[in-house]
Amino acid sequence: MKTIAKAKLPLVLELLAKEYKVLVPAKFEGVTRFTPYQQDVELALEENVIMPPKDIFFPQTEKMYKFKAKDKSLEIEEYPLEDAMQIIFGIRSCDMKSIDCLDQVFLTKSYVDPYYKNKRDRSILVALSCIEPMDSCFCTSMGIDPQKAVGADIQAYDLGDKIGFEAISDVGKEILEKISSLLTEEEVTLPAVGEFNLNADVEGVPEKLKEMFDHPIWDDISRKCLNCSACAYVCPTCHCFDIANEVRGEDGVKIRCWDCCMFDEYTMMAGGHQPRPGKKERVRNRFLHKLRYFPERYDMLLCTGCGRCVVKCPVNMDITSIIRQIKNA
């Protein structure tokens, strides 16, 4: 396996940054997230970032096109799509799975989203293995291997004081060839993964939920929820969005931005009808989407076990506990 000392990893990133835009997990304005690599960036490699890579492919706000309305005419001008390749370094296995979930939403079922596809097509993904799970992690319960991501171009391994690299795709081989002068070939043994604090048995849950839409369990689960949507904004797979206009005089811009099914306005209809009037209906929809509706449509769960919602929920709602309640109901 090709390896390099962790202390020399910036040399790899600097070399790649000469040819590509390189995004790395780093602390930025007090929050860990993927950010463009610079020499003074504070890399965050010890644990997963709070803000997932979702924002790279599906930005929190995104201009779609601009328009000009004058008299009875309307002119529309699309923003040019970028073509520069980018390398995203350090994506954990759970977040690689989340990208697969987003791919299903934006690239399949007869419609391809051009904005999402553009970012995916020009991205080279370098996954990074996990050794020590955080207290909130439960990716193995979702069938994910924390040391071997699916869909990566390069798999990087945390070897303690070193980083190991294994090319998975042809483009991954090209990237490793570009940095080969910095790497050393050696035999390595992957370290064992630590124990997980959380776990969830999801076997049979999607099928069971088909008969639980009106179950009283939703009253119990939703009681302490604040509908604050912190869970959705740090979730790597939540993908609800709204489309709005920003108009100044005759000129306007069409903007897509994140939204959330936990907000009252999300399902408010033009005539004033609200099909999800309370916390129970919104909380129920969130968990049915992740554990029943998405598996029915795409044959995969919409949860990757990253644990971010567990960390950020202000009232300590825990999806693994909710899954246990569903199993025992």
pLDDT tens, 62-80?
999 999 988 889 999 999 9
CA dist., res. 253 & res. 68, Å (int): 9
Please tell me whether residue 99 adopts helix, strand or coil conformation.
Answer: helix
pLDDT of residue 100 exceeding 90: yes
Please tell me whether residue 25 adopts helix, strand or coil conformation.
Answer: strand
CA dist., res. 254 & res. 189, Å (int): 52
| Arithmetic mean of pLDDT, 198-214 | 97
pLDDT of residue 315 exceeding 90: yes
Whether the full predicted model's pTM is greater than 0.85, yes or no, is yes
pLDDT over 70 percentage in the chain:
100
- The continuous run of DSSP H or E covering 15 comes out as helix 9-17
pLDDT tens, position by position, 104-160: 999 999 999 999 999 999 999 999 999 999 999 999 999 999 999 999 999 999 999
pLDDT tens, position by position, 30-58: 899 999 999 889 999 999 999 999 999 99
- DSSP letter at 9? H
Q: Look over the chain and give the mean of its residue pLDDT values, rounded to a whole number.
A: 96
pLDDT tens, position by position, 177-201: 999 999 999 999 999 999 999 999 9
Beta strand 86-91 with 154-158 is unpaired
pLDDT of residue 204 exceeding 90: yes
pLDDT of residue 326 exceeding 90: yes
Query: According to the model, what pLDDT value does residue 174 have?
Result: 98
Place of tokens 């069938």: 143
| Arithmetic mean of pLDDT, 271-299 | 96
Q: 224 pLDDT band (50/70/90 cuts)? A: very high
Distance from the first to the final alpha carbon of the chain = 48
CB-based burial label for 178 (10 Å; 0-12, 13-18, 19+): middle
pLDDT of residue 29 exceeding 90: no
| Arithmetic mean of pLDDT, 256-272 | 94
Query: According to the model, what pLDDT value does residue 71 have?
Result: 85
Q: Which domain holds residue 97?
A: 2-328
Q: 322 pLDDT band (50/70/90 cuts)? A: very high
What are the phi and psi torsion angles at 65 (to 5°)? -165, 165
Cβ atoms of 55 and 90 within 8 Å: the answer is: no
Number of domains in the chain: 1
What percentage of the chain's residues is helix, strand, coil (to nearest 5)? 35, 25, 45
Query: According to the model, what pLDDT value does residue 70 have?
Result: 85
Beta strand 21-28 with 86-91 is parallel
Q: Please give the C-alpha separations between residue 284 and each of 35, 42, 260, 299, 311, in angstroms, as whole numbers.
A: 34, 39, 13, 20, 20
